[in-house]
Amino acid sequence: MTGEVINPDPDQPDVVFPTGDETGPQWPSTDTGDPAFPPRTPARRSNTTPSGGSPVAGGVSFVDDKFVTSAFLQGTTHLDALGHAWYGDEIYNGFPADSTEATKTFETSLLGTDGRDALPDSGDAEDLTPVSETQGLAKAAVSNPADAGIFGRAVLLDVGRHLDVADENDRLPLGYGITYDDLQATADAQGTEIRERDLLVVRTGAVERTRDPDAEWAPLNEPGLAFSEEVVEWIAERDIPYIGADNLAVEKVVQVIDGATYVIPLHGAFLRNLGVYLNEILWLDDLAAACADDGIYEFLLAGAPLNVERASGAPINPVAVKATDGKAPTDGQGSAR
């Protein structure tokens, strides 16, 4: 959550999003850091107590901390709430779209900013102002999966490792759209069965590029799932409740469908229509290596996002618990994975 910003232009370190007139930074970039959909960025935390800690009666001292910059709830590994994205006048379950802007008033004002848009603000940086009123999701917020948790049999489809278009590091190229046939070919190559209500995890190799100074990364042109009726129907028929991936959007962000350009069309199909949770920016390198070692691509996946009231998404730290065939390498300390 507090990593380095990826910036494609060293001469403009404060600008992380390409400008419309092409004078700003232009992706792709070989800069390294922690991925986030621009202009979301990793946050910064700092101590709020003096050097040496704060002493209290009895001799105990403690250190405290807080975020000192904006902390984007979807600026790191996170789960999308079902009300995060929609089309038309309704979100998931037929709730009205304006339910995503429900107002809540607080008795005590706190200093903050009232910026709302996920796009760059124009003009100077916002001044701190008293905040006593906020907008948020009245329905389909992230508190629902936070309360219940997400856990079950999960299956990794390591598309990056099994498609011929991948590079020597088993990473799909920029701009690649993963098709229904690609998913099926990967499952067949792994000998993996996708069962009803499985949790589906897809590896592309995209996030690994953000740690490699020799690899190009472009947030809006990462490889990801491509929209097709076959993919949507396959997910619906198996009642898949969750899809996680190692990229910013699970799907390819910008897609051309029947000659028209769409942005995140599968968010509409999965979140709004099917109620499928999307888990983005997963680190899958270690899990994928373990699966490739022993050929076991199924595991228990468990996690719960932070319970942030009325939020459209929140950080999550899922854990995979995987069996091995007894032949997998140890971690160097004498214990198997």
Structural domain contains residue 4: yes
Determine how many CB atoms are found less than 10 A away from the CB of residue 303: 18
Instruction: Report the percentage of the chain scoring pLDDT > 70.
Output: 91
What's the one-letter identity of residue 82? L
Which pLDDT band holds residue 10 (cuts at 50, 70, 90)?
confident
Instruction: Verify that 158 and 255 share a domain, yes or no.
Output: yes
Structural domain contains residue 106: no
Instruction: Verify that 161 and 33 share a domain, yes or no.
Output: no
Q: What is the pLDDT of residues 37-67, one digit of tens each?
A: 988 889 999 999 888 888 888 889 999 999 9
For residues 226 and 255, give the distance between their C-alpha atoms in angstroms, rounded to a whole number.
7
Residue 11 has pLDDT above 50, yes or no: yes
Instruction: Verify that 159 and 293 share a domain, yes or no.
Output: yes
Segment among 107-116, 150-159, 280-289 with least mean pLDDT: 107-116
Instruction: Verify that 184 and 265 share a domain, yes or no.
Output: yes
Q: What is the mean pLDDT of the chain?
A: 91
Structural domain contains residue 101: no
Kindly give, in sequence order, each residue whose CB lies less than 8 Å from that of residue 299, ignoring residues fewer than 6 positions away: 153, 154, 156, 287, 320, 321, 322, 323
Structural domain contains residue 119: no
What's the one-letter identity of residue 289? A
pLDDT value at residue 332:
44
DSSP 100: G
Instruction: Verify that 152 and 295 share a domain, yes or no.
Output: yes
| DSSP secondary structure, 195-220, as one string | -TT-EEEEE-SHHHHTT-TTS-B-GG
- Take residue 105 and report the two structure tokens written for it: 């008033």
Structural domain contains residue 275: yes
Structural domain contains residue 266: yes
Residue 27 has pLDDT above 90, yes or no: no
Instruction: Verify that 279 and 197 share a domain, yes or no.
Output: yes
Residue 131 has pLDDT above 70, yes or no: yes
Structural domain contains residue 53: no
Instruction: Verify that 25 and 162 share a domain, yes or no.
Output: no
Structural domain contains residue 333: no
Instruction: Verify that 28 and 157 share a domain, yes or no.
Output: no
pLDDT value at residue 326:
61
Instruction: Verify that 164 and 276 share a domain, yes or no.
Output: yes
Q: What is the pLDDT of residues 138-156, one digit of tens each?
A: 999 999 999 999 999 999 9
Overall number of domains in the chain:
2
User: How do strand 129-136 and strand 102-112 relate by DSSP bridges?
Assistant: antiparallel
The torsion angles phi and psi of 113, rounded to 5 degrees, stand at: -125, 155
Instruction: Verify that 72 and 175 share a domain, yes or no.
Output: no
Kindly give, in sequence order, each residue whose CB lies less than 8 Å from that of residue 192, ignoring residues fewer than 6 positions away: 155, 156, 157, 186, 297, 298
For 36, the domain range is 1-47+65-76
Instruction: Verify that 70 and 170 share a domain, yes or no.
Output: no
Which pLDDT band holds residue 184 (cuts at 50, 70, 90)?
very high
CATH number, domain containing residue 287: 3.50.30.50
